[in-house]
Amino acid sequence: MIEIMPPSIVYPHQDGLYINLTNRCPVACSFCVKSAWKWSYRGHDLRLRREPPAADIIEALGDLKRHRELVFCGFGESTYRLEELKAVARAARARGIRSIRLNTIGLANLIHRRDVVPDLVGLVDAASISLNTADPDQWREIHRPLTAYAGEGFSAATEFIRSAARLLPRAVVTAVDLPGVDIPRLQALATELGASFKLRPQLRDEEARA
């Protein structure tokens, strides 16, 4: 008999507990693995049948003392659900989680048409922003944004990073190791915005080595 697993709204990975808030994305990154991996991430089905209410996620958190950090990161852009993100972070904080990280494409300010970083103060300890290039045209090529995010997307992401670096304990610009990207230029941009920088392997390569 085939066992049908329910979609994961929370899932453990390494020493963190990850939250899969939404499957909505303002972009279609060229390096995204969700289609190639059939919406499965290391054994967890991240294809949501519906977006879970904050109460369901909070109930699913379980014993947070077993995890070093809580991470908002699934197959989708968590900041679409800003209020739910804040409610879950607040609940996790109250239950003693040591650290909370947001992995994001950095378009929240464009999605909500305001700087949302002040909302995250006291709730999010680290923002990890997937920028991948310092070149606006290349940003569009790599991320293939929806039309509404194509024109202002790159500048909105850089402003989000600047705000996160100013207001949150930690902001990290990340880049997937892609051919043709000027990494020193991107690293310099991260520094100029006040963030640190992290280069990461393509997930497909990482999987091949696992």
Annotate each residue in 155-184 with x if it binds ligand SF4 (CB under 6 A) or - if it does not, as one string: ------------------------------
| Site string (69-88) toward ligand SF4, x via CB under 6 A | ------xxx-----------
CA atoms of 45 and 187, how far apart (whole Å): 34
Is 27 one of the binding residues for ligand SF4 (CB under 6 A)? Answer: yes
25 interacts with ligand SF4 by CB under 6 A: yes
With b meaning 16 or more CB within 10 Å and e meaning fewer, what string describes 57-66? bbeebeebee
- The piece of 9-17, 21-29, 110-118, 167-175 that touches ligand SF4 (CB under 6 A) is 21-29
Please state, in angstroms and rounded to a whole number, the distance separating the CA atoms of residues 173 and 186. Answer: 9
Strands 69-72 and 100-104: parallel
Distance CA 169, CA 126 (A): 6
**Is 34 a binder of ligand SF4 (CB under 6 A)?**
yes
Q: Is position 193 an interface residue for ligand SF4 (rule: CB under 6 A)?
A: no
Q: Is 176 helix (H, G, I), strand (E, B) or coil?
A: strand
User: Cβ–Cβ contacts within 10 Å for residue 28, how many?
Assistant: 12
Stretch that binds ligand SF4, among 7-15, 27-35, 121-129, 132-140 (CB under 6 A): 27-35
Q: How far apart are CA 46 and CA 6, in angstroms?
A: 9
State in angstroms the smallest separation of the CB of 40 from ligand SF4: 13
Judged by CB under 6 A, the stretch of 11-19, 23-31, 56-64, 89-97 that binds ligand SF4 is 23-31
Task: Mark 107-136 with x for binding to ligand SF4 (rule: CB under 6 A) and - for no binding.
Answer: ------------------------------
Nearer to ligand SF4, 98 or 198 (CB): 198
Secondary structure letter of residue 196 according to DSSP? E
Which range binds ligand SF4 by CB under 6 A, 5-13, 28-36, 63-71, 189-197? 28-36
Distance CA 128, CA 196 (A): 9
**E strand intervals along 73-183:** 100-104, 126-130, 170-176
Which residues lie near ligand SF4 (CB under 6 A)? 25, 27-29, 32, 34, 75-77, 105
